[in-house]
């Protein structure tokens, strides 16, 4: 049995997030004038939607069509030009997955960001022997008290 690798993109990250928010399965979403295979490939990032498919998906998922179409355009540029697009945007291509994941708000995202910040500060503290706290914009954040 062959396992398909997921390609992370702006469109499929938002699609996956919205499917999870609504509690839909791929089969349930496929009943909206799209085939199961189309939805599966879109979710895995193996293809991008046509304008008509995008319109139907946006109607079913109740998301902004303009936002989703901008995500599709970004993904098409990345597929066509690769790392050159990330460099043009001033983003290290190795950090592209993080940029994609942080580009849209989601439940728990703020907590996840704090955990990443806390992890990086802990690592820095170990390397430089800094005190056991985070200093951000003049505020003292004790990440042990926050449970991070």
Q: Are residues 33 and 92 in the same domain?
A: yes
Residue range 25-68, pLDDT digits in tens = 888 888 777 888 988 898 888 999 999 999 999 998 999 999 99
Q: What is the mean pLDDT of the chain?
A: 77
d(CA 52, CA 50): 5
Q: How many CA atoms lie within 13 A of 144 on its CB side?
A: 4
Q: Are residues 31 and 73 in the same domain?
A: yes
* CATH number for the domain harbouring residue 43: 1.10.260.40
Q: Structural domain tally of the chain?
A: 2
Q: Are residues 30 and 70 in the same domain?
A: yes
Whether the Cβ atoms of residue 134 and residue 142 lie closer than 8 Å to each other: yes
Q: Name the more confident of 103 and 43.
A: 43
d(CA 111, CA 56): 33
| pTM summary value | 0.66
Residue range 32-41, pLDDT digits in tens = 778 889 888 9
Q: Are residues 81 and 46 in the same domain?
A: yes
């Amino acid at each position: 049995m062959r396992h398909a690798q997921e390609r992370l993109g702006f469109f499929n990250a938002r699609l996956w997030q919205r499917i999870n928010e609504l509690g839909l399965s791929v089969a349930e979403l496929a009943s909206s004038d799209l085939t199961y295979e189309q939805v599966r490939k879109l979710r895995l990032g193996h293809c991008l939607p046509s304008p008509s498919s995008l319109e139907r998906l946006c109607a079913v998922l109740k998301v902004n069509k303009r936002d989703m179409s901008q995500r599709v355009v970004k993904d098409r540029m990345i597929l066509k030009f690769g790392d050159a697009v990330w460099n043009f945007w001033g983003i290290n291509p190795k950090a592209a997955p993080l940029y994609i994941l942080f580009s849209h708000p989601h439940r728990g995202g703020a907590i996840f960001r704090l955990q990443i910040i806390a992890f990086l500060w802990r690592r820095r503290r170990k390397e430089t022997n800094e005190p056991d706290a985070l200093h951000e914009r003049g505020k003292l954040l004790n990440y042990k008290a926050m449970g991070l």
